[in-house]
């Protein structure tokens, strides 16, 4: 019975793919689509909320809206009178929002004495034709799933086409180095770019099938996409496994492509891009002229310089699995990670909040989905990130399209916890990417902070140091860590407590990657019982 269901899903996928591939979007079509969405933004928001929330009895947001007494007529009038963002701020003030933990189902939702408990599946788009199931990267320790349809890839393929045009990428070969299904980013790029008329030449994957252990259903869907696409005349690249320590394989492909075509573009994680650039230098490969499209991890000045030192250009885009792409790098940025918010598909407001058990306050992002085919329905949902949001004229290609809202200095407010003490993870960035490489050698991907419970259930913070660094004075390195935290942390007793509790240890091993192939400066390893 299970086999029959999987085969049915497979054939439905193939049939839907055939319709998806029948027509690509022209650049002019994409411009018109975006223009219309922006002009009708208020009306589109009303329609999405009416169909997916007010007409969906299972919607978590409907429960919150009813609790506040906001009927559909009230909501509609507010949007038409005040616009999307002002309405969202009013809803947030009345209790219609979800924190990061509430959205992940890890925490009960309590509003004015009323309690709610929601599951991840409660936020699925009820009107979506489910073609593909993807997973988040598990950065927070919890992976979540979302179902996507080809309609979604059609609606978001417009942005890929516009990005290719603005950054002059149409004529150069394009590769992706992102994981296979159920990873989300690789398949999204493959289908969105194909819809935009640019099929990737290569698909490298940081993880193979043995490591990801995809289900039979995911194997069917991956193979179905590749071979059915070829059958229908679209030569999809077959995923090629390239582990993180074999980045030289990607660097060699880039060098050859640059030589043959005088240009090249690769989409990958920032840490993977760093590895490519270092591998190219070590092997004496010329990859100058390459354009890296990077996402999935914060881009810091150190990592940006490490990538640019190879003579390549960096194009940043920001997104998250449940909401898709948020925006692309401005071509006239005032900050290194300043992106244009794709306000036709997402609305963004901010709310000031304190990081638990600290006196640090941040302006958390709350996102709302506006596209009819969005995988998850979002209404004032925190995703664990914060940053700076502003509106300005920059006279770049995105600005001319009507994307005048900018975001920069994007970071996560997830934190490292030990001995009852919390330190925001941003405080470790400089330590991992600048202080340790400068003093002990190596680069930003040779070090990492790993939070892990020992056999006694005590949380230890391991300083991961790559074996490639060579011999080091471990006592001196630990002293450097404590001194650095002492200098930047407002709670001066926290590093002392960590020191007294012997919280910090050193492990000589390669930094750990997530199952999606990302290398974060901070990593959390939980015991199974948790």
Q: What is the mean pLDDT of residues 38-47?
A: 98
Q: Which residue has better confidence, 80 or 413?
A: 80
The model's pLDDT over 10-32, given as tens digits with 9 standing for 90+, comes to 667 778 888 889 999 999 999 99
The pLDDT-based confidence of 148 (bands split at 50, 70, 90) is low
CATH 2.60.40.680 fits 132-321, yes or no: no
DSSP 8-state class, residue 402? T
Q: Is 216 left (phi over 0), alpha (psi -120 to 50) or beta?
A: alpha
Q: Which residue has better confidence, 33 or 515?
A: 33
Q: Is the pLDDT of residue 483 over 70?
A: yes
With 0.75 as the threshold, say if the pTM is over it.
yes
| Per-residue confidence (pLDDT) for residue 132, from 0 to 100 | 60
Contact 369, 377 (CB under 8 A): yes
Cβ count within 10 A of residue 32: 12
Among residues of the chain, what percentage have pLDDT more than 90?
53
Number of H helices, E strands in the chain: 19, 22
Among residues of the chain, what percentage have pLDDT more than 70?
82
**If we measure between CA atoms, which residue out of 277, 259, 260 comes closest to residue 268?**
277
| Per-residue confidence (pLDDT) for residue 491, from 0 to 100 | 38
| Per-residue confidence (pLDDT) for residue 4, from 0 to 100 | 52
Question: Which of 76-87 are b and which e, b meaning 16 or more Cβ less than 10 Å from the residue's Cβ?
Answer: bebbeeeebeeb
Helices (H), 284-386: 301-308
- The mean-pLDDT minimum among 244-248, 386-390, 520-524 falls in 520-524
Q: Is the pLDDT of residue 529 over 50?
A: no
The pLDDT-based confidence of 528 (bands split at 50, 70, 90) is very low
- The mean-pLDDT minimum among 3-17, 156-170, 297-311 falls in 3-17
Tell me the three state secondary structure of residue 376.
strand
The overall average pLDDT reported for the chain is: 84
**If we measure between CA atoms, which residue out of 524, 157, 529 comes closest to residue 324?**
157
According to DSSP, the β-strands at 132-135 and 145-148 are: antiparallel
The pLDDT-based confidence of 134 (bands split at 50, 70, 90) is low
Q: What is the mean pLDDT of residues 264-279?
A: 92
Contact 183, 191 (CB under 8 A): no
| Per-residue confidence (pLDDT) for residue 354, from 0 to 100 | 78
| Per-residue confidence (pLDDT) for residue 516, from 0 to 100 | 64
Q: Which residue has better confidence, 211 or 127?
A: 127
Right CATH for 416-525 from 3.30.70, 3.30.300, 3.40.50, 3.30.379: 3.30.300
Domain ranges of the chain: 40-126+338-413, 132-321, 416-525
Q: Is the pLDDT of residue 80 over 90?
A: yes
Q: Using omega within 30 degrees of 0 as the cis cutoff, is the peptide bond preceding 31 cis?
A: no
Query: What are 408's strand-pairing partners?
Result: 388
The label of the residue with tokens 């080091």 reads 472
- The mean-pLDDT minimum among 154-158, 305-309, 519-523 falls in 519-523
DSSP 8-state class, residue 257? H
């Amino acid at each position: 019975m299970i086999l029959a269901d999987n085969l049915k899903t497979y054939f439905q996928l193939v049939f839907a793919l055939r319709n998806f591939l029948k027509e690509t979007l022209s650049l002019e079509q994409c411009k018109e689509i975006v223009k219309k969405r922006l002009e009708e933004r208020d009306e589109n928001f009303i329609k999405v909320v009416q169909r997916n929330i007010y007409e969906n009895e299972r919607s978590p947001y409907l429960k919150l809206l009813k609790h506040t007494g906001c009927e559909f007529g009230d909501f509609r009038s507010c949007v038409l009178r005040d616009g999307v963002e002002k309405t969202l701020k009013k809803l947030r003030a009345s209790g219609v929002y979800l924190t990061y933990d509430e959205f992940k189902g890890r925490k009960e939702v309590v509003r004015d004495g009323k309690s709610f408990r929601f599951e991840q599946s409660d936020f699925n788009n009820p009107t979506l034709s489910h073609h593909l199931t993807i997973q988040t990267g598990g950065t927070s320790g919890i992976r979540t799933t979302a179902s996507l349809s080809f309609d979604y890839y059609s609606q978001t393929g417009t942005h890929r086409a516009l990005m290719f045009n603005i950054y002059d990428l149409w004529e150069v070969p394009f590769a992706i180095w992102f994981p296979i299904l159920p990873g989300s980013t690789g398949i999204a790029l493959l289908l969105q770019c194909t819809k935009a008329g640019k099929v990737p030449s290569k698909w490298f994957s940081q993880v193979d099938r043995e490591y990801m252990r995809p289900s039979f259903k995911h194997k069917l869907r991956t193979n179905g996409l590749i071979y059915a696409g070829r059958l229908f005349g679209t030569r999809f690249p077959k995923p090629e496994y390239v582990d993180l320590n074999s980045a030289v394989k990607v660097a060699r492909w880039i060098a050859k492509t640059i030589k043959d075509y005088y240009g090249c573009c690769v989409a990958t994680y920032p840490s993977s891009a760093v590895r490519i650039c270092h591998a190219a230098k070590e092997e004496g490969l010329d990859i100058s002229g390459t354009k890296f499209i990077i996402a999935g991890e914060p881009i810091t000045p150190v990592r940006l310089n490490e990538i640019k030192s190879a003579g390549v250009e960096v194009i940043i885009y920001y997104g998250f699995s449940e909401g898709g792409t948020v925006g692309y790098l401005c071509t006239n940025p005032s900050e290194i990670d300043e992106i244009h918010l794709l306000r036709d598909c997402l609305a963004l407001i901010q709310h000031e909040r304190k990081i638990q058990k600290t006196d640090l306050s941040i302006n958390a992002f709350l996102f709302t989905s506006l596209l009819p085919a969005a995988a998850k329905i979002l209404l004032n949902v925190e995703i664990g990130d914060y940053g700076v949001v502003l509106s300005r004229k920059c006279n770049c290609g995105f600005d001319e399209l009507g994307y005048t809202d900018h975001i920069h200095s994007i970071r996560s407010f997830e934190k490292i916890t030990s001995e009852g003490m919390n330190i925001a993870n941003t405080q470790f960035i400089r330590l991992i990417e600048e202080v340790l490489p400068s003093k002990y050698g190596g680069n930003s991907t040779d070090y990492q902070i790993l939070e892990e419970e020992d056999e006694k259930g005590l949380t230890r913070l391991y300083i991961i140091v790559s074996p490639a660094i060579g011999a080091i004075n471990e006592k001196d390195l630990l002293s450097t860590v404590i001194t650095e935290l002492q200098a930047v942390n407002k709670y001066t007793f926290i590093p002392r407590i960590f020191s007294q509790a012997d919280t910090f240890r050193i492990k000589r091993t390669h930094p750990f990657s997530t199952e999606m192939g990302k290398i974060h400066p901070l990593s959390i390893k939980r015991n199974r019982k948790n």
